[in-house]
Structure 1
Amino acid sequence: MRYYLNTGTDPAFNLAAEQYLLENASEDCFMLWRNHNTIVVGRNQNTLSQINPEFVEKHNIHVVRRITGGGAVYHDLGNINFTFIKVGGQAKRIDFSAYTRPILDYLNGRSVPAVLDGRNDLIVDGLKISGNAQHIHKNRVLHHGTLLFDVNLEMLATSLLVDPEKYRDKAVQSIRSRVCNIRNYLLDRPNVEQFMDDLGRHMHNAHHAVMTQFNEDDLKQINRLAGERYRQWHWNFGDSPAYNFSKSTRTPGGTIDIRMQVKDGVIQGIRIFGDFFGIDPVSDIEVLLTGCRHDSESIKNILEAVDLERHIKDVTIDHLIHSMF
């Protein structure tokens, strides 16, 4: 088994590195890595319905889609991600127990009473410390999971705080669980880097994992994949199941009630209702926004070319955009 200690914290690169190893590794791999503040959404989710967009924008939180299923998760530098790549064999079904066992053995060896709960979570005292997901590619398996070591739990909760009434779709919804940090259970109170190093040594000693680094060609291919997929709006936001959006907002100009149909991240139809006043018909705005990405920057670019005051008195562009997310 090859062991990669990936010290980069760019989520696009890290998710691309996983996919690259899945598709190209010549033998089994294990990788430890961290992301700077990021929400990672599942392959089958509607991204906007999983995030708190204003909070995400204010705190410069990255949003990236992964190739595995499951729910949205928050990463920061207090969260450790682990990845197993299994090469060869007949991968015909999802199996979480085989890949979480080495992690459980390590945690239990450090007196952390973690167990596999249900389908894909590791818990301690009923609190979640790890979520896991898998993807099968031909005869290869990618299994990855989080380890909440010393995560900012307030940021985690707020960044994923979503009004469930705004979105109607058939996408996979995240199941929110009560969580806790692993560091609380460790008597020696190591920092995150020390914990990662120790876990790496465990994998080397118990599973013969050989430290390996990406070579120049690996890095070139991973960066190419990151640019072509994981940095693209269409993959991270547009490649969501179709959904209906509705939201009612109080503004200085009155109530704004937005109803939208969105497909592939693009507004297919929109109606703007409310008790506001205006000289020109609001249907002019609806026509302009039809065909626009459901993305704040794209919407802002369109509205900046319009005298919005003539259509919706005392409502600014920011007010209207806020009512659409």
Structure 2
Amino acid sequence: MKYITNQSTDPRYNLALEEYTLKHLDPKESYVILWQNEPSIIIGRNQNTVEQINPEAVKKYGIHVVRRMTGGGAVYHDLGNLNFTYVMEDEEGGINFRKFTEPVIRALRKFGVPAEFNSRNDLAIEGKKFSGNAQFVHKGKVLHHGTILFDSDLDRVQEVLKVKENKFKSKGVQSVRSRVTNISEYLEKRSTIEEFKELLLHYLFEEAGEPMEEYVLTDEDKATIQKMMDERYSKWEWNYGSSPSFDVRKSERFACGEVEVGVNVKKGRIEACKIYGDFFGSEDVAEIEKKLIGLRYDEDEIRTALQELNLKAYFGPLTEDEFMMCLF
């Protein structure tokens, strides 16, 4: 395993660096990156951006809005938040959060932080979340990244993000602020985020049982990362995209997360389809959208088409009946 030093705090560059590491560096090597972002909202791959942000607050505070390549929900980053990224061979053949979060939990416990795995993708202290995690699988490799709220502005989170009421109801909590915490409050020894970052990197290599070794980005690496940043992560089309109106639009919350489906029906057939949500899957839901277009807006015909697909690969633990609830 090698670490990559990244001093950038631009979320567009940092997300491009992750993608570059996954798709272009040595596929047999494992990498870890610790990084921070300027104030920004990082949107999940399958989310409808305009439904996740408070545009007035985003403009007021000059906050970046950037879409990432992994699923899950929107998160707020600032310089009081530390992000960690693992890129390595996918030995599990799919989404597995515990494999990557357990070394982080053990490392944090060395700081005196009573961290624990909580729900589908969160790390928590005494029931309060301090880390959200997401994954993306590509050609036999997996990218896992997560946040660590160290000393973040937790009040700003509630101001800049819109959170749907059904998410609170499903979790039985009252607000974003009441269910998150910073780990700095739990450290046995006070430290700056930079000191914490250096020691955490050391602990992660200790947990992996490997000597610390750095991969230094070449000028060619940096040029390609910049190109990816310019062509994807800086583009409105990627970060916002279109949010069309639909004839039928339904949203439901299941064990896998929120699933929202919008369809346009013309002369009884599905003419357009878009799937949004904060679910995690190893396959691209665009394949399902494409599959549904042209079908009659008929439950039996749609169910027959879905038989050819493994819904769990796209959404995680979602049944056919649950998906149909979002269509009818």
2:227 pairs with 1:227: no
- Equivalent pair of 2:107/2:207 in contact (CA under 8 Å): no
1:178 CA drift (Å):
0.9
- Equivalent pair of 1:121/1:131 in contact (CA under 8 Å): yes
Describe the shift of the 1:222–1:99 C-alpha distance in structure 2 as closer, same or farther (beyond 3 A): same
- Equivalent pair of 1:44/1:241 in contact (CA under 8 Å): no
2:214 pairs with 1:211: yes
- Residue 102 of structure 1 corresponds to 103
1:164 CA drift (Å):
6.5
User: Sequence identity of aligned pairs in percent?
Assistant: 45
C-alpha separation between the residues in 1 aligned to 2:87 and 2:184? Answer: 26
> Where do 1:65-104 residues align within 5 Å?
65-87=67-89, 89-104=90-105
Letter in 1 for 2:88: K
C-alpha separation between the residues in 1 aligned to 2:184 and 2:246? Answer: 39
Describe the shift of the 1:42–1:163 C-alpha distance in structure 2 as closer, same or farther (beyond 3 A): closer
- Residue 5 of structure 1 corresponds to 5
Letter in 2 for 1:84: Y
- Residue 130 of structure 1 corresponds to 131
C-alpha separation between the residues in 2 aligned to 1:63 and 1:118? Answer: 26
> Where do 1:1-325 residues align within 5 Å?
1-26=1-26, 27-87=29-89, 89-161=90-162, 176=176, 178-207=179-208, 208=210, 209-238=212-241
C-alpha separation between the residues in 2 aligned to 1:95 and 1:122? Answer: 14
What do residues 145-189 of structure 1 show as CA deviations (whole Å, max 9, x unaligned)? 000000001111111136769xxxxxxxxx957100000001321
Letter in 1 for 2:64: H
1:262 CA drift (Å):
12
SS at match of 2:38: coil
C-alpha separation between the residues in 1 aligned to 2:116 and 2:244? Answer: 34
Describe the shift of the 1:242–1:29 C-alpha distance in structure 2 as closer, same or farther (beyond 3 A): farther
Describe the shift of the 1:141–1:162 C-alpha distance in structure 2 as closer, same or farther (beyond 3 A): closer
1:118 CA drift (Å):
1.5
SS at match of 2:142: strand
- Segments of structure 2 that go 5 or more residues without pairing to the other structure are 167-174, 248-261, 265-328
TM normalised by structure 2 equals 0.68
1:62 CA drift (Å):
0.1
1:90 CA drift (Å):
4.2
Letter in 1 for 2:24: N
1:201 CA drift (Å):
1.5
Letter in 1 for 2:120: R
SS at match of 1:21: helix
Letter in 2 for 1:75: H
Give the number of the structure whose alpha-carbon radius of gyration is greater. Answer: 1
SS at match of 2:84: strand
- Segments of structure 1 that go 5 or more residues without pairing to the other structure are 166-174, 245-260, 264-325
What do residues 189-231 of structure 1 show as CA deviations (whole Å, max 9, x unaligned)? 1111110011111123332241222111110010000000000
C-alpha separation between the residues in 1 aligned to 2:205 and 2:136? Answer: 24
C-alpha separation between the residues in 2 aligned to 1:178 and 1:243? Answer: 34
- Equivalent pair of 2:111/2:189 in contact (CA under 8 Å): no
SS at match of 1:132: strand
Letter in 2 for 1:36: E
Describe the shift of the 1:191–1:233 C-alpha distance in structure 2 as closer, same or farther (beyond 3 A): same
SS at match of 1:123: strand
C-alpha separation between the residues in 2 aligned to 1:240 and 1:11? Answer: 23
Letter in 2 for 1:120: N
- Residue 299 of structure 1 corresponds to none
Letter in 1 for 2:17: A
What do residues 244-275 of structure 1 show as CA deviations (whole Å, max 9, x unaligned)? 9xxxxxxxxxxxxxxxx999xxxxxxxxxxxx
- Residue 283 of structure 1 corresponds to none
SS at match of 2:9: coil
| CA RMSD across the alignment | 2.4
- Equivalent pair of 1:30/1:85 in contact (CA under 8 Å): yes
